[in-house]
Amino acid sequence: MNDEIPLSYLNDFIFCPISIYFHNFYMNLERKIYQSPYQLNGTAAHEAIEDGRYSSRTNVLKAISVYSDKYNLIGKIDTFDNSSGVLTERKKKVVRIYDGYVFQIYGQYFALVEMGYKVLSLKIYSMDDNKVYKIPLPSEDLVMFHKFEQVIHDINSFDMLQFSQTNIEKCKQCIYEPACDRSLL
């Protein structure tokens, strides 16, 4: 692959690499046509950040574009408090911390560090229940850091023609399942 990797792909790839294909295929359609109510709620939840309504504090960076040259990652952060060094990824409702969530905030972390910011801590915020989950920095969790790097390697070397889904539960949760030729249903 070796193109720039959107930060969202880190989570999507773990769920199912084929979902990235469908996401790009449906990209220009009205979201209501193909997204689940959960995804539509998640998109709406991020609108306050995207529209600049989340905070007026000048030390809080909101929805800025970031890029990591080392990992070839591109995307946007949710919020970074420049005075405290806290990077926060907001999710509509967190049921559990998935590896993909951690990898997304790691990508944001590395991009901000490369851009010269001092990131001291990472948090995932669940908006529906107002819970905050502290995520160890990559240097504090080497197992997760190596998994992060492995996912980036897997994305860069992915061959869609060779992929077979093995987890029926992922197919059951996938909004693209009806159109997917790899579905186990």
pLDDT in tens, 23-61: 888 776 565 555 556 554 555 555 555 555 555 667 899
Q: The tokens of 116 are what?
A: 């010269």
- H or E element at residue 29: none
User: How far, in whole angstroms, is CA 141 from its chain's centroid?
Assistant: 19
Task: Round to whole Å and give the CA distance between 34 and 169.
Answer: 19
Burial bucket for residue 9 (CB in 10 Å: 0-12, 13-18, 19+): buried
Task: Round to whole Å and give the CA distance between 155 and 14.
Answer: 10
pLDDT for the residue 27: 73
User: How far, in whole angstroms, is CA 37 from its chain's centroid?
Assistant: 18
Question: What's this model's pTM, rounded to 2 decimal places?
Answer: 0.83
Angle between helices 99-114 and 142-156 (to 10 degrees): 90
- Given a cut of 80, whether residue 136 has pLDDT beyond it is yes
Q: Which domains does the chain have, with CATH numbers?
A: 5-179 (3.90.320.10)
- Given a cut of 80, whether residue 124 has pLDDT beyond it is yes
Task: Round to whole Å and give the CA distance between 150 and 141.
Answer: 14
What share of the chain in percent tops pLDDT 70?
83
